[in-house]
Amino acid sequence: MGGIDYTKRQRPGDAAGGPAVSLSKVTLTKGAPSVVLTKKAGATGTLRVNLNWNARPPAPPSGGLFKRMTTPPAVGIDLDLGCLYEFTDGSKGVVQALGNAFQARATFTTDAVIRLDGDDRSGTNTGGENLFVNLAHSAHIRRVLIFASIYAGAPNWAEADGVVTLFPASGPQIEVRLDEHNPRSRLCAVAMLENVGNELQVRREVRYIEGSQSALDREYGWGMNWTAGRK
């Protein structure tokens, strides 16, 4: 399937055309888009999913004092981290800052299975934004689609230089760089966490969706009803 089981000790360049693999980090690419989270390598405890980006605005315009006075100030880029989720009990929904949907709950536990720690509107927080997935309930997870959206600022993914990193409780971190760009889209499906044969697989997506979260839903067949939200 083009994936990597990162419990195997590989050196950079071991797999022809594959990503550089080390004991500390796996970078998912088109050539090797997936890894399997085995119990030995981190399918227990809490999986932290981090989004970081560069929110710097474009350089100020040149052309003299008058042009600077008549040109609106540049707007920084505000990226948001979120996910669509589906559990084996039939529960499905979205975790995101928009609509204050910060937690995902289900019938099989009173704890939050997935939670979002907050909303970094500046991109200057070194901790970025974080989703936490409680892998004690991994058997109940059918799939989780991690996405990033540009909430404010121009849809300039190249300028944002976003990266999503997954930190298992043990084993190497998993990096997905948003290194393909679509200036017509404010939404990017980053990675899918999916239960395949009782193992959790992380698969790179990096697919840009033109439209809102409802368009993302249709693209991946989630089948939910959507209403406008705000934060």
Pairing of strands 163-167, 173-177: antiparallel
CA distance 189 to 207: 5
Q: Is the pLDDT of residue 188 over 80?
A: yes
- Structural domains for the chain: 25-220 (2.60.60.30)
Q: What is the pLDDT of residues 177-187, one digit of tens each?
A: 998 888 889 99
**Per-residue DSSP letter, 124:** -
pTM for the whole thing? 0.80
Distance between first and last Cα of the chain: 39
Instruction: Answer whether 14's CB lies under 8 Å from 21's CB.
Output: yes
Mean pLDDT over 75-98 rounds to 90
Of 87-91, 142-146, 151-155, 211-215, which one has max mean pLDDT? 142-146
CA distance 200 to 215: 25
- Written as one letter, the residue type at 19 is P
